[in-house]
Amino acid sequence: MGESRAALADPLGGDGSPFGKAKGMVFPRIVLVGHGVISELPETCRQFDFPSVGAVITGPRTAELAGNRAAEILTHDGFSITTVIAREATGAEVDRVSSELRGRGVKFLVGVGGGSKIDITKVVAARLRIPFLSLPTSAAHDGISSPRASLHGAGTVTSTEAAVPVGVIADTAVIVQAPFRLLASGCADVISNTTAILDWRLAVRLRGEEFSTTAATLSDYAAQEIIDHADAIKPNLEESVWIAIRPILVAGIAMSVAGSSRPCSGSEHLFSHALDRISAHPGLHGEQCGVGAIMMMYLHGGDWRRIKNALLTIGAPTTARELGVTNEEVVRALAMAHSIRTERYTILGDNGVTRDAAERLATVTGVVA
Ligand SMILES: [Zn+2]
């Protein structure tokens, strides 16, 4: 994350100080969740003392869903708003949006959209050094409030440090209109915290990695909330968004506390990243992490059926077929996952699982039939 440092230079008096630890954490300062909270946008901007010139960054579809409305509400209230329609989250698109906004005196941004538009806004805000508000139109993963953004390159996805929104306005009446598959994916992403935390604890024991009880507790709380309320998360029900969105936001906070994605990203995320590379038509990030969590929980010797049942109850994928990938791709992704990000130690160890073991793992957990 941008502003988090494991150790600041010369903290607390520097040399000879018996206690030289320092850490920075950046969080959203205002988080509004509820029906119709989009109308609070002008008031929220005033609370931050934003000057009157700002921009809304949104997508072609999310403009109709909420982006245009956000711009109208602000304009009606006396703000001078430029609306930029952004496309895919790529470095080139970040360059284009940044240059379109430069020289216009824009002093704040409002990112309105799903993951990719929020990600573009995060990076553009960091580049222009101005604050931004996040107004998600869907909740497909835990990145809404996190300090990282995913940018797509030539066949790869890179995780980039980016600005944290100063405020999050999560309007449940807007988010419920997004396809349910997206919310189910966001829930699966949070459920996958369960194995990420086990991997983290393992790395602490085996590698002496730094641990944050606070971050792990927040991350676990978020996962358990979703698992415990799985039967209340249903399509076309605004209350489901209400139940799911808070744990999704808390997961982002856990990453801000840790200063890394560690509390919410372990072997199950490595599996998802491997599948993104291998499969011609990968599933959604959160969906793949959920399926990964079933299998990684099996490797940890934990209650993998509980993970699987929660995903089934919500209606998130639990099999290769439901992800839209082949059995072979799942097995190859499992065997390759350990090599994706070697500094992130997980249950997969340094050598990963063999192909035979990968086949058995996927079969015994029912991911591959
Ligand atoms: Zn994730």
Number of residues written out for the chain: 369
CA 265 – ligand 1 centroid, Å = 6
**Spatial contact of 175 and 183, defined as CB atoms under 8 Å apart:** yes
CA 58 – ligand 1 centroid, Å = 22
CA 119 – ligand 1 centroid, Å = 14
**Spatial contact of 81 and 72, defined as CB atoms under 8 Å apart:** no
Largest CA distance in the chain: 64
Tokens of 92: 């080139």
User: CB neighbours of 264 closer than 8 A, spacing ≥ 6?
Assistant: 142, 189, 190, 192, 193, 196, 219, 251, 254, 255
Please name the residue ranges forming H helices in 148-303: 172-175, 180-191, 193-207, 213-228, 238-258, 267-278, 285-299
CA 286 – ligand 1 centroid, Å = 6
Q: Tell me, what DSSP letter sits at residue 65?
A: I
CA 52 – ligand 1 centroid, Å = 35
CA 268 – ligand 1 centroid, Å = 9
CA distance 190 to 200: 15
CA 16 – ligand 1 centroid, Å = 41
CA 227 – ligand 1 centroid, Å = 16
CA 267 – ligand 1 centroid, Å = 11
Instruction: Give phi and psi for 368, each to the nearest 5.
Output: -115, 130
Q: Can you give the pTM of this predicted structure?
A: 0.90
**109 dihedral zone (left: phi>0; alpha: psi -120 to 50; beta):** beta
Tokens of 186: 């966001």
Amino acid in the structure at residue 183: L
CA 185 – ligand 1 centroid, Å = 9
Amino acid in the structure at residue 114: G
Residues with CB under 5 A from ligand 1 (ion): 189
CA 32 – ligand 1 centroid, Å = 22
CA 269 – ligand 1 centroid, Å = 6
CA 224 – ligand 1 centroid, Å = 16
**Spatial contact of 199 and 296, defined as CB atoms under 8 Å apart:** yes
Residue located via tokens 């929980």: 297
Amino acid in the structure at residue 208: G
CA 131 – ligand 1 centroid, Å = 24
* pLDDT of res. 4: 44
CA 127 – ligand 1 centroid, Å = 24
CA distance 186 to 322: 16
pLDDT tens across the length of the chain (369 residues): 444 444 444 444 445 567 888 878 889 999 999 999 999 999 999 999 999 999 999 999 999 999 999 999 999 999 999 999 999 999 999 999 999 999 999 999 999 999 899 999 999 999 999 999 999 999 998 888 887 888 887 666 777 878 899 999 999 999 999 999 999 999 999 999 999 999 999 999 999 999 999 999 999 999 999 999 999 999 999 999 999 999 999 999 999 999 899 999 999 999 999 999 999 999 999 999 999 999 999 999 999 999 999 999 999 999 999 999 999 999 999 999 999 999 999 999 999 999 999 999 999 999 999
* pLDDT of res. 17: 67
CA 9 – ligand 1 centroid, Å = 31
**Spatial contact of 141 and 290, defined as CB atoms under 8 Å apart:** no
CA 186 – ligand 1 centroid, Å = 8
